[in-house]
Amino acid sequence: MHHFAYSNGSLHAEGVDIRTIAAEVGTPFYCYSSATIERHYEVLTQAFAGQDHLVCFAVKANSNQAVLATLARLGAGMDVVSEGELRRARAAGVPADRIIFAGVGKTRAEMAYALKEGILGFNIESAPELDQLSEVASSLGLTASIAIRVNPDVDAKTHAKISTGKSENKFGVPFLDAPALYERARTLPGIAISGIHMHIGSQITELGPFRDAFTLMREMVLDLKSHGITLKHLDIGGGLGVPYRADNDWPPHPDEYARIVKETLGDLRLKIVMEPGRMIIGNAGILVTRVIYVKQGQGRQFTIVDAAMNDLIRPTLYEAHHDVWPVAEPQGVHDLVAQDLVGPVCETGDYLALDRPLPAFKSDDLIAIMTAGAYGAVMSSSYNTRPLIPEILVRGETFAVVRPRPTYDDLIGQDRLPPWLTPPKT
């Protein structure tokens, strides 16, 4: 569910007319709904009622500080994968003891910064990383709380580029190697074993892979316990999918997901940590763009808009589908026209939708690309020297610009000429 709906002939974000934002801010822009973010977080936490748990939002899905602050005020922790994301979370008011540091390539500098901040813990992905964290923590006279990420070799049945739990993926420690690494961890200085971690992928729409992975993790926890390694928490990662298409079956409800967790892991009496990203922010955001003009090609219509692949790369990178809504509510019965929705970037891969039956748009029409809150703005770039686009947060009948559009001077001014190319002063 989301809080984008038609009212008085126009698409609204909660109580704000999208046309009003477009007139004030210009297009394209991202727009997020506070009510949707809050509802998704609350539905997830309510699903785990009775189970000790912590929801750590995956910052990589959307790192805007206004989004992070909205969740922090609800009690959410954060899952970060870089020092930059950690700094963002702290700047947004997230307590350090609610932050988990994940990722396969943590540097010594990042480890040191996180240790000094006093974060909740590190998810360890390899033996070399464990050794390096021990060295860094010991050199600082600090102790790093760790969970080892175990790769259960479970097929999440999702897109190959967002599958993370199979043996050929770069993430985690092979299931059979994990016990030995835990044995090593308890001998290392500066290391305190706290938990175990898994994450099998993203945009998962079936419960079967979760059940399979959770069952394997249960076996691992019991095996470790039998060898004297007692854990405090089990981090089940994230990955629960969202509905990108109105005409497809919806992913499982968080209640069903929580039931699987409780059935397979509940009697272990461990704190359950989870790292949802897309599930909370995915359909809490839209990308609003304006039609520049319509071009009739050889047997194909191109609707050229002012948003492009550098603003939303998911369609060309993941072959992802996003529903497309006209901002002006369609009236009565109207014919749909098969068309490609494309941007101005000089790439054939610059598209937002291909061969899609959509209304017959004309120049200056506003269009909303739905379910764009996750992996949209965070993956954007200034390719073709196109400035990053604004991000807007709506709450009720008000809205705020939470990331302004930079000027061309801002963008070009990031470059520096070396002395031999600097023009002489006149």
For the record, the structure tokens of 39 come out as 């509802």
Q: Return the amino acid letter for 374.
A: A
Rounded distance between C-alpha atoms, residue 255 and residue 248, angstroms = 20
189's CB contacts (< 8 A; 6+ apart) are 134, 137, 138
Q: Which residues pair with 272 in a beta bridge?
A: 53, 234
Which residue in 49, 346, 417, 421 is the catalytic one? 346
Whether residue 333 contacts residue 295, with contact meaning beta carbons closer than 8 Å, is answered with no
Which H or E run includes 39?
Answer: helix 34-47
Active site annotation includes 346: yes
Q: Residue 5: phi, psi to the nearest 5?
A: -155, 160
Q: Per this entry, what is the length of the chain?
A: 426
Q: Where do we find the tokens 């990031």?
A: 414
Count the neighbouring beta carbons within 10 Å of the beta carbon of residue 139. Answer: 12
Rounded distance between C-alpha atoms, residue 125 and residue 130, angstroms = 8
Count the neighbouring beta carbons within 10 Å of the beta carbon of residue 423. Answer: 6
Catalytic site residues? 346
